[in-house]
Amino acid sequence: MIISKSPLAEPIDKPKATWVQPAVEAEIQYSGITDDGLLREAVFKGLRDDLSPAAGAPLVGKTRPSSESLGVPRENILQLLPDALVPSNEELMSYWTKVAKKALVHLGRRPLKLVRHSHGVTFYHKGRLPDIPDTVHQLRVQKREGGEGVRLWVDDLDGLLGLVEIGAVELHPWNATIDDIEHADRVVIDLDPGEGVEWEMIVETALKVRDMLRSEGLDSWPKVTGGKGLHVMAPLQAVITHDAARQYARKLAQHLVSKHPDRYLLSSAPSARCGRIFLDYLRNGRGNTAVGAYSPRARSSFPIAAPVTWAQVEKGILPDAFTLESPFRPAKAAWTTRKNQ
């Protein structure tokens, strides 16, 4: 399997390295991705024989899009979203004007991770930013892996409209404010269903997480994601470090996994998730994010992530119940039960 040069898309200065063909795949658990595309706190979980190409099959390298083909510098693409659908800037500006007051309660004064659309390409942005309008604020932060980076934040409607100007579609806020970025002021548990999980199971799980948090004195609220899952958000009574927030979220998730291993898991491996819910506690941690309340999603019909009430969850409201056109009132079909696609 030894080959003469690196098969990686990015140049690596390792003169003593022995390079091999990428013929097997492994599952890695990690807490986040750096601006340089490196995994934080990576843990090897095992080889994935179900994904590995058959012996002798041609190997296809997974490379990032080039700036020549997309018009976007590849160093700006943390993750490409090739199937994304995005609204026009006019639709986004009209939407933010309508929801700004409510949205800024959840998005304002928080460092933001952005999903941007530029040159016909939709992607999670990393690295150097384009020219930023004066209405959008910039915060210099020390990267966890070393060096300095810039995070954007807004505090008014003009700031939200400024983000549209640079192609921002989705907004994913930190679990901390710009006033104290090193401490989390909330935790989030992301209920991410695998294939075959019915929505009633998501509802049941959300209520269990709510009750667990309530028993510890935390008053949580639910958020439909505009995707296929649901977030349980819990404001913290006292700020704690991001690492402590992640450990706390993991403890809650592990409690459910230990009691119901046939229903829940802490791994995102597709082969293990069929019929089970991935309790994603890794949304917590310094710089780790979940889609923000009232953020549009780059998906068909332009759903939005929206805060809802526990009464609505109990009635079975679906994750794509709210849209760009109807951000405050769910569609009639949003109350029917169905299997997640």
Q: Which domains does the chain have, with CATH numbers?
A: 89-173 (no CATH), 184-335 (3.30.70.3300)
Q: How far apart are alpha carbons 152 and 154 in whole angstroms? A: 7
User: Nearest-CA neighbor of 204 among 218, 191, 185?
Assistant: 191
Question: Average model confidence (pLDDT) for the chain?
Answer: 88
pLDDT at 48: 67
Lowest average pLDDT, out of 168-182, 205-219, 287-301, 323-337, goes to 323-337
- The whole-number average pLDDT for the span 58-72 is 49
pLDDT at 341: 38
Lowest average pLDDT, out of 59-63, 244-248, 298-302, goes to 59-63
Let me know if 198 is exposed, middle or buried by CB neighbors in 10 A (0-12, 13-18, 19+).
middle
Confidence bin at 51 (pLDDT 50/70/90): low
- The whole-number average pLDDT for the span 81-89 is 95
pLDDT at 36: 59
Task: Name the residue with higher pLDDT: 15 or 139.
Answer: 139
Let me know if 127 is exposed, middle or buried by CB neighbors in 10 A (0-12, 13-18, 19+).
middle
pLDDT digits (tens, 9 = 90+) for 226-235: 999 999 999 9
User: Nearest-CA neighbor of 175 among 265, 95, 293, 264?
Assistant: 293
Q: What percent of the chain has pLDDT over 70?
A: 87
Sign of CA dihedral 102, 105, 108, 111: negative
Lowest average pLDDT, out of 50-64, 73-87, 128-142, 287-301, goes to 50-64
pLDDT at 49: 61
pLDDT digits (tens, 9 = 90+) for 154-166: 999 999 999 999 9
Residues 110 and 177 sit within 8 Å (Cβ to Cβ) = yes
Exposure pattern of 155-182 as b/e (b: 16+ CB <10 Å)? bebebbbbbbbbbbbbbbbbbbbbeebe
Q: How far apart are alpha carbons 201 and 123 in whole angstroms? A: 31
Res. 55: pLDDT tops 60: no
What distance, in Å, lies between the first and last C-alpha atoms of the chain?
Answer: 39
pLDDT digits (tens, 9 = 90+) for 323-332: 999 999 987 6
Token pair 């693409």 in the structure block, residue: 77
Complete DSSP assignment for 112-133: EEEEEEETTEEEEE-SS--PPP
Q: How far apart are alpha carbons 219 and 209 in whole angstroms? A: 11
- 3-class SS of residue 198: strand
pLDDT digits (tens, 9 = 90+) for 187-238: 999 999 999 999 999 999 999 999 999 999 999 999 999 999 999 999 999 8
Position 282, amino acid: L
Residues 166 and 283 sit within 8 Å (Cβ to Cβ) = no
CB neighbour list of residue 310: distance below 8 Å, 6 or more residues apart: 207, 210, 221, 222
Give strand pairing partners of 2.
Answer: 20
| Prediction pTM value | 0.80
In what helix (H) or strand (E) does residue 280 lie, and over which residues does it extend? Answer: strand 277-280
Res. 288: pLDDT tops 70: yes
Lowest average pLDDT, out of 122-131, 145-154, 239-248, goes to 145-154
